Structure 1
Amino acid sequence: MPVDETELVASYRRVEHPLYNALYRMLWDAQECQDVIHDAYLRLWQRKARVDADRIDALAWTASLNLARNRLRWRRLRGWPAAPEAVDAIAGEDDPQASAEQARLHTALRRLPVAMLEVVLMAEFSGMGTREIALALGIPEGTVASRKHGAVLRLKQWLGER
């Protein structure tokens, strides 16, 4: 059954905040995150006749992650930094310890392969379970669990936690 405007708006309200949080940790640019989300929903709206209302949230995640990957690829091709300089002020300038921790986390997340990064961010920020993540990414559930496990192990190692 095709999606209508009410379902699209409801999906946006459900998904926007966790999607933004996950995308921010990929792109580290607030405006780019908003642009990606809006572009993804615009694409869903343009294809509304072919979009199944039951899968709209997963499709929003898929479209947003694809657009974010494209932006990261575009940055690499042009030799742009992986994140804008605004990253230095992520945690706030008033708390140097929090800023240092955020910078360490940022560096660790940037080291993860994109496939692992997507899974761990979706697991932490989307409220989606393994099955929903697998559906959104088009991969088996076992692959989701494996990527998440590998990402968490690497992050713990890089951040000095055991």
Structure 2
Amino acid sequence: MTLRQEALYASYRRLERPLYNVLYRQLWQAEDCQDIVHDAYVRVWERRSKVDEVTLDALVWTTALNLAKNRLRWRLLRRHEELDEESLPLTADGQPQDFLATRRLHQALRQLPRAAQQILLLSEFSGMRGNEIATVLGIPAGTVASRKHQALERLKTLMGASLDA
């Protein structure tokens, strides 16, 4: 049952971009996201004797999401970092991409419950299906579907309210 190095590399090639996309929308810091992706794979590799290749991707997702949750907790202890222009994606000429829209989305996402945020981000930015998200989060697939629907409705309401303000 020992994890093979080739399986870990294949998982990294499959998941690196989707993991980064989901983590970025939780942390809004590129460097933190890169660190967490790499840390997740290091932690999985350190436990390779106990890792089954069949569940490798779900384990990496769970590890990365837990690391992100810990990073957010750490930030709160050290005073929550406000979104600033340095943490936004840049255009080719170095300017922030749609600063106001990104800020509204960030604020709306922060108002969702953590479980709703995770499901929404995993479904929209990871390419995972409902049953895969259910496996990663350890909840029934039906719960994923209902929470996703509720999260999207709440996000629409929040984004509409921020557009009116």
Structure 1 residues 104 and 66, CA gap change in structure 2 (3 angstroms): same
Over 3 Å counting, the alpha-carbon distance change for 1:49 and 1:110 in structure 2 is same
Does 2:76 align with 1:76? yes
Q: Secondary structure at the match of 2:2?
A: coil
Report the secondary structure of 2:127's partner residue.
coil
Distance 2:127 2:117 in 1: 16
Identify unmatched segments of 5+ residues in structure 2: none
Displacement of 1:106 in angstroms is: 1.2
**Matched letter for residue 48 of structure 1:** R
The residue identity in structure 1 corresponding to 2:108 is: A
Segments of 4+ moved more than 6 angstroms = none
From the superposition, tell whether residues 2 and 84 of structure 1 become closer, same or farther in structure 2 (CA, over 3 Å): farther
Q: Does 1:139 align with 2:139?
A: yes
Sequence identity percentage: 52
2:99 paired residue number? 99
Number of residue-to-residue matches in the alignment = 159
Structure 2 counterpart of 1:45, one-letter code: W
1:12-161 pair list within 5 angstroms: 12-81=12-81, 83=83, 86-87=86-87, 89-90=88-89, 92=91, 94=95, 98-160=98-160
How far is the alpha carbon of 1:126 from its aligned partner? 1.4
Amino acid at match of 2:156: K
CA positional deviation for 1:18: 0.6
CA distance in 2, matches of 1:85, 1:91: 9
* Cα deviation 1:21-54 (Å, max 9, x = unaligned): 0000000001100111111100100011111101
**TM-score calculated relative to the size of structure 1:** 0.90
TM-score (norm 2): 0.88
How far apart are 1:86 and its partner, in Å?
2.2
Alpha-carbon shift at residue 85 of structure 1 (Å): 5.4
Q: Is the contact made by 1:3 and 1:48 (CA closer than 8 Å) also made in structure 2?
A: yes
The answer as to whether partners of 1:90 and 1:99 remain within 8 angstroms in 2 is no
Change (3 A) 1:95 1:30: closer
SS in structure 2 of the partner of residue 2 of structure 1: coil
1:120 and 1:148 in contact (8 A); partners too: yes
For residue 160 of structure 1, report the CA deviation from its aligned partner: 1.4
Mark the runs of 5 or more structure 1 residues left unpaired by the alignment: none
- Measured on the aligned residues, the alpha-carbon RMSD in Å equals 1.9
